[in-house]
Amino acid sequence: MSEWKFNRDAIRAFRFVRCSFDAATGVAQLVYAFDDGPELIETVTVPGAPFALDDARAQAAERALRLLHLIAGVSYYKAAVPEEIRIDSYAIDADTAALMELIYVNGLGEFAYRNGLNLHGRIRFPVAQQQGASAPALGLREHALVAIGGGKDSLVSIEALRSLGIEQTVTWIGGSQLIRACAERTGLPTLNLGRTLAPQLFDYNREGAWNGHIPVTVLNSAIMVFAAVLLGVDQVVFSNERSASYGSMIEGTGEVNHQWSKGWACEQAFGEYVQREIAADLHYYSLLRPLSELAVARQFARTDRYDAHFSSCNRNFHILGERPASRWCGVCPKCHFVFLALAPFMPKPRLMGIFGRNLLDDPAQTGGYDALLEFQDHKPFECVGEGRESRAAMAALAERPEWREDALVERFVREIRPQLDASELRIEPLLVIDDEHRIPASLWERLRAQFAA
Ligand SMILES: CC(=O)N[C@H]1[C@@H](OP(=O)(O)OP(=O)(O)OC[C@H]2O[C@@H](n3ccc(=O)[nH]c3=O)[C@H](O)[C@@H]2O)O[C@H](CO)[C@@H](O)[C@@H]1O[C@H](C)C(=O)N[C@@H](C)C(=O)N[C@@H](CCC(=O)O)C(=O)O
Ligand SMILES: Nc1ncnc2c1ncn2[C@@H]1O[C@H](COP(=O)(O)OP(=O)(O)OP(=O)(O)O)[C@@H](O)[C@H]1O
């Protein structure tokens, strides 16, 4: 074993070695390996131990733990993308294998594109078990674990649930101080779940592992589903908007979606699996699925409670390395997009106060905005709205005296708008509320009224 060296091209198999949960400490261990190399151990910690679970809940927790083990393996599998996948300590059925293949192939879509790999037909999870009976209801109490990511989207959901009188715990994974500050600002009960990646992964990255984006939202979702079973609550709520279902259109390749695991196809498949295989009364859904990014931005602008606390800039969220000097780096696609999406819905001085500058009056940001507008470039690989949303927001600003002389708005009017169909530049059609979602019927009518107001 001590002779083993990471060599991505020589590795034959990725192994799901075992997973375990210690109810006395709240620590779960997710163990993987390449061939007969060292064990790669990821840990997830759920506060509130010791957990005393009855038989039905203990069995559901074991099923949720295996689901998490399978999904979290994507961080390690991607390092070598070997031909074979093995599961050493339990067996999975065809439905589980199909869900994993869906998540791995699509969730690693950007990773594969950027590395010139073709994962279709390559990722095969071994099926060694017949389909079992559907999971029973556990008698979970009515309470929502709401994911918070530090950005605008989750804050919109949290405020919506608050106004509907739904009991919630604001929940996040990892050690981000920015997310903690936002969570505390809500004034609601909070829960911080621990997650530590196997340290060898960072060595492997330095030693030439394949690297790239992983489907982090479905991974966070699986962690929260596991926590929900332990804590005995019936809802896991995310804040993934409709626009997340649409990727970047790449010439010669087709659609590649950075945020596939925030999209509708993933939510449907994962949510149905959780209800069928983990607990019949555990509901996983995105509260913002019926809304576009612009509609979410409009909702967010209705309160200034979080202006001094939130950030959508992903540069704040690295596990290793540098963070930006301020909450908004001002030069990444998320900063560009969020500034543009909020601009039609809030007074200019408020927006400039949030960002500390005017990104639309900075010619250095031209390339970044062109990509968002899908003008001579494709939509960036980031969690940003559709090109038509960016174009409609820019067109709205072009009509506003306080914005139209800013460098990038003025350029849009002069160079880009003349090439576009004016009938496709209206914001209103993009604010329409969709009916495709998994929001429980008991909430939906009241929520719809709130979103429509
Ligand atoms: C913060 C960030 O954007 N990270 C991406 C970045 O990682 P980087 O190497 O610059 O630094 P670290 O985040 O510190 O990660 C170090 C390495 O660890 C591996 N890793 C990390 C987290 C994980 O869950 N699994 C991992 O395997 C990886 O090898 C890292 O290099 O670049 C990486 C490579 O492209 C990305 O994988 C990192 O993305 C994170 C997984 C991440 O959390 N990204 C979110 C900020 C993000 O993109 N969120 C989207 C959601 C999209 C989705 O659900 O698919 C969003 O904003 O909505
Ligand atoms: N560290 C985390 N722990 C738990 N949930 C997270 C974490 N990071 C992101 N999420 C959740 O993942 C989903 C997608 O994240 P995303 O970054 O789009 O949302 P956001 O941070 O609320 O808003 P924004 O799009 O403005 O950044 C959201 O439901 C968010 O709450």
Neighbouring-strand partners of residue 14: 34, 85
In angstroms, the Cα distances linking 314 to 151, 156, 179, 257, 327 are: 9, 18, 12, 17, 10
The residue whose C-alpha atom lies closest to atom 11 belonging to ligand 2 is 149
Q: Could you tell me the distance, in angstroms and rounded to a whole number, from the CA of residue 75 to the centre of ligand 1?
A: 9
Q: 241-279: string of b/e by CB count within 10 Å (b at 16+)?
A: bbbbbbbbeeeeeeebbbbbbbbbebbebbbebbbebbb
Q: Could you tell me the distance, in angstroms and rounded to a whole number, from the CA of residue 132 to the centre of ligand 2?
A: 33
Q: Please give the number of the atom of ligand 2 that sits closest to the Cα of 173.
A: 3
- Output the ligand 1 site: residues, CB below 6 A: 75, 197, 201, 205, 211-217, 259, 261-262, 314, 317-321, 383
The answer to whether the CB of 217 is under 6 A from ligand 2 is: yes
Query: Which pTM value belongs to this model?
Result: 0.96
Q: Could you tell me the distance, in angstroms and rounded to a whole number, from the CA of residue 120 to the centre of ligand 1?
A: 22
The preferred substitution site among 45, 148, 193 for testing ligand 2, maximizing ligand atoms within 8 Å of CB, is 148
Q: What is the pLDDT of residue 321?
A: 62
Q: In what order do the strands lie in the sheet with 13-22?
A: 84-87, 13-22, 27-34, 40-45, 190-196, 168-173, 141-147, 233-238, 283-286
The residue whose C-alpha atom lies closest to atom 30 belonging to ligand 2 is 149
Burial of 281 (0-12, 13-18, 19+ CB in 10 A): middle
Q: What is the pLDDT of residue 403?
A: 98
The preferred substitution site among 317, 323, 337, 379 for testing ligand 1, maximizing ligand atoms within 8 Å of CB, is 317
Q: Could you tell me the distance, in angstroms and rounded to a whole number, from the CA of residue 149 to the centre of ligand 2?
A: 3
The residue whose C-alpha atom lies closest to atom 54 belonging to ligand 1 is 217
Which tokens go with 220? 């966070």
Q: Are strands 254-256 and 190-196 parallel, antiparallel or unpaired?
A: unpaired
Q: Could you tell me the distance, in angstroms and rounded to a whole number, from the CA of residue 365 to the centre of ligand 1?
A: 24
The answer to whether the CB of 277 is under 6 A from ligand 2 is: no
Residue 30, classed as helix, strand or coil, is strand
* Gap between the Cα atoms of 298 and 343, Å rounded: 9
Q: Please give the number of the atom of ligand 1 that sits closest to the Cα of 75.
A: 27
CB count within 10 Å of CB 90 equals 14
Q: Which among 209, 193, 213, 202 is positioned nearest to 108, based on CA atoms? A: 213
Neighbouring-strand partners of residue 86: 15
Q: What is the pLDDT of residue 322?
A: 62
Closest ligand to C-alpha of residue 312 is: 2
Q: Are strands 84-87 and 248-250 parallel, antiparallel or unpaired?
A: unpaired
DSSP string, 376-406: SSPPPSSS---HHHHHHHHHHHHT-TTTTTS
Asked if residue 244 lies in contact with residue 229, where contact means CB atoms within 8 angstroms, the answer is no
CA atoms within 13 A on the CB side of 45: 9
Residues making up the chain, counted from first to last: 453
Q: What is the pLDDT of residue 129?
A: 85
Q: What is the pLDDT of residue 324?
A: 66
Q: Could you tell me the distance, in angstroms and rounded to a whole number, from the CA of residue 214 to the centre of ligand 1?
A: 7
Residue 410, classed as helix, strand or coil, is helix
Q: What is the pLDDT of residue 244?
A: 87
* Gap between the Cα atoms of 185 and 306, Å rounded: 7
What DSSP designation does 274 have? I
Closest ligand to C-alpha of residue 148 is: 2
The residue whose C-alpha atom lies closest to atom 58 belonging to ligand 1 is 383
Residue 101, classed as helix, strand or coil, is helix
Q: Could you tell me the distance, in angstroms and rounded to a whole number, from the CA of residue 32 to the centre of ligand 1?
A: 19
Q: Could you tell me the distance, in angstroms and rounded to a whole number, from the CA of residue 321 to the centre of ligand 2?
A: 20
Q: What is the pLDDT of residue 108?
A: 97
Q: Could you tell me the distance, in angstroms and rounded to a whole number, from the CA of residue 111 to the centre of ligand 1?
A: 11
The answer to whether the CB of 186 is under 6 A from ligand 2 is: no
The residue whose C-alpha atom lies closest to atom 7 belonging to ligand 2 is 149
The residue whose C-alpha atom lies closest to atom 4 belonging to ligand 2 is 172
* End-to-end CA separation in angstroms for the chain: 63
What DSSP designation does 49 have? P
Q: What is the pLDDT of residue 383?
A: 83
Q: What is the pLDDT of residue 136?
A: 97
One digit per residue, pLDDT tens: the chain, 453 residues? 568 999 999 999 999 999 999 999 999 999 999 999 999 999 999 999 999 999 999 999 999 999 999 999 999 999 999 999 999 999 999 999 999 999 999 999 999 999 999 999 999 999 988 888 899 999 999 999 999 999 999 999 999 999 999 999 999 999 999 999 999 999 999 999 999 999 999 999 999 999 999 999 999 999 999 999 999 999 999 999 998 888 878 887 888 889 999 999 999 999 999 999 999 999 999 999 999 999 999 999 999 999 999 999 988 888 776 666 789 999 999 999 999 999 999 999 999 999 999 999 999 999 999 999 999 878 888 788 999 999 999 999 999 999 999 999 999 999 999 999 998 899 999 999 999 999 999 999 999 999 998
* Gap between the Cα atoms of 288 and 295, Å rounded: 9
Examine the predicted complex and report whether its ipTM is higher than 0.95.
yes
* Gap between the Cα atoms of 158 and 4, Å rounded: 48
Q: Could you tell me the distance, in angstroms and rounded to a whole number, from the CA of residue 334 to the centre of ligand 1?
A: 14
Closest ligand to C-alpha of residue 313 is: 2
